[in-house]
Chain A
């Protein structure tokens, strides 16, 4: 069962680029907070969203769904999405599922 907790999202805006840290709560319902945070950055005028995976070991189906939500919102806003510091296993998963068709990997 997913415990819904309020996740504190670390996000840093630098000009038109906003960096959001996926952390370890991406794989839970609380990960929706990341999506909300990204939407807020887009509303605030961000043209590039960087999702940092340095603190993320694995990504499950909930995490993929939340990231798709981020991609969808960015596409609607005409913004670019970049995934950074992605672990190799997660990168393989993103490639296999086709997320890499929509984002740039750093």
Chain B
């Protein structure tokens, strides 16, 4: 009768421990409950569960019961201790046997004071994950083989729980490392793109900073369209790299201080396709970057180059870069032409909305400008790019507001955003 009651009690504890470990919950609580179940199953007066750190070669106490405050919370292990634990495997070691271990000789007094009788190395898949330490039984009897088998079964559950926790921690660490690597890669990519943009701009002394400005204008348009962060970044990159094909065009053609002739113009007109060829083999985080380079001189009315595409045939990103590129061309001095006044540029954009430029993009761009003029945007990007005087042109804000009213509500030639 007594034996069957004992069996029911201990197996009840074993079953509960199994379910405890199988269910996801707070690790520390799981360990506390596990220790209670382990001690309560055989009425063991005190005990503790320590987790092994293979980096520090130490046992760190996770949970203890009945150990005094002086008991060390961290116990160092040497190579021989670890080797002996691995050889022993997951089976209780009596303290009398453990006395030969180097670590026991250091912590001998602490163990004796708390009357620790058994050590169970938690060896899971040939790795030490921790140690369970157990004091004397409440009935004062020594541990028998039945007790040791029960302890062994319960300790295995505890060991598996610690191993799972270690695995999760390792996965989290690796995921974090991957995130950091990805961020580093993104930074490297962004730096490379900017370096390319600078290299492109260096070739043309008259349009210094052009690619960077087109990148920033493209970014503003994408933001105004409500795109999410990676898409806005993609638009900026497309702007930065749109003229990469110019790297192969003769410097004297790019820098010609006069209107270039037909032959030179034909040479220059190759740069979108060359840019596409340069960018295509690169694995960009943003898919449309090569297309932006190839089609940034196309117009909605089909009068652009290299392919004379019309409206819906033109990739959306290329339309953005086209607008940003044209705006920068109109608002910067060229060798053969001074920059145009702000009011004239706004008139030009409104007039060409639906012909050269996509109407919704012109609206988005003007909205961005107007927000800055009304002090509604956090940064003053237009002011930095165009200069304070230019942005403070008299009557600019009402002019943009009027232009927006004229163009915004009607024709959406490219309402779909199919980039």
Q: Which residues of A line the B interface, CB within 8 A? A: 1-2, 4, 29, 32, 60-66, 68-69, 71-72, 92-93, 96-99, 101-102
Contact = CB atoms under 8 A, between A and B. Distances in A.
B409 interface: no
Interface centre among A66, A72, A98 (most CB of B within 10 A): A98
A61 B1 CA distance: 19
B257 to A, nearest CB: 80
A95 to B, nearest CB: 8
A-B pairs with lowest CB-CB distance, top 7: A98-B139, A61-B40, A97-B43, A65-B40, A64-B40, A61-B13, A65-B36
B46 interface: yes
Nearest to A103: B138
Contacts of A65: 35-37, 39-40, 65
B376 interface: no
A4 B26 CA distance: 11
A65 B32 CA distance: 11
Interface in B56-94: 65-66
17 contacts: A1-B19, A2-B29, A4-B29, A29-B32, A29-B33, A60-B16, A61-B41, A65-B35, A65-B39, A66-B40, A69-B66, A71-B138, A92-B5, A98-B43, A98-B138, A98-B139, A99-B138
A62 B25 contact: no
B37 A92 contact: no
Interface secondary structure of B, over-half rule: helix
B419 interface: no
Contacts of B6: 96-97
B42 interface: yes
A69 B43 CA distance: 10
A29 B36 CA distance: 8
Contacts of A68: 39-40, 43-46, 65-66, 138
A66 B2 contact: no
Interface secondary structure of A, over-half rule: helix
Interface in B1-52: 2, 5-6, 9-10, 12-13, 16, 19-20, 23, 25, 29, 32-33, 35-37, 39-46
B36 to A, nearest CB: 4
B144 to A, nearest CB: 13
B33 A102 contact: no
Nearest to B43: A97
Contacts of B355: none
Contacts of A63: 40
A93 B137 CA distance: 14
B42 A97 contact: yes
Interface of B: 2, 5-6, 9-10, 12-13, 16, 19-20, 23, 25, 29, 32-33, 35-37, 39-46, 65-66, 137-141
Contacts of B5: 92-93, 96
A57 B41 CA distance: 18
Contacts of A101: 138-140
A98 B141 contact: yes
B254 to A, nearest CB: 71
A62 B15 CA distance: 13
Nearest to A75: B45
A32 B35 CA distance: 13
A65 B5 CA distance: 17
A72 B42 contact: no
B29 A97 contact: no
A61 B20 CA distance: 13
Contacts of B12: 60-61
Given A1-B23, A99-B138, A102-B138, 13 more contacts: A32-B32, A60-B9, A60-B16, A62-B40, A64-B43, A65-B36, A65-B65, A68-B45, A71-B45, A98-B43, A98-B138, A98-B141, A101-B139
A72 B46 contact: yes
A38 B43 CA distance: 19
Interface centre among B6, B16, B65, B138 (most CB of A within 10 A): B138
A61 B42 CA distance: 8
Contacts of A1: 19-20, 23, 25
A48 B285 CA distance: 73
A69 B44 CA distance: 10
Contacts of B45: 68, 71-72
B28 to A, nearest CB: 11
A97 B46 contact: no
Interface centre among A65, A97, A99 (most CB of B within 10 A): A65
A69 to B, nearest CB: 6
Nearest to A4: B29
A60 to B, nearest CB: 6
A6 B32 CA distance: 16
A4 B41 CA distance: 21
Contact of A72 (B2, B25, B66): B66
A29 B137 CA distance: 21
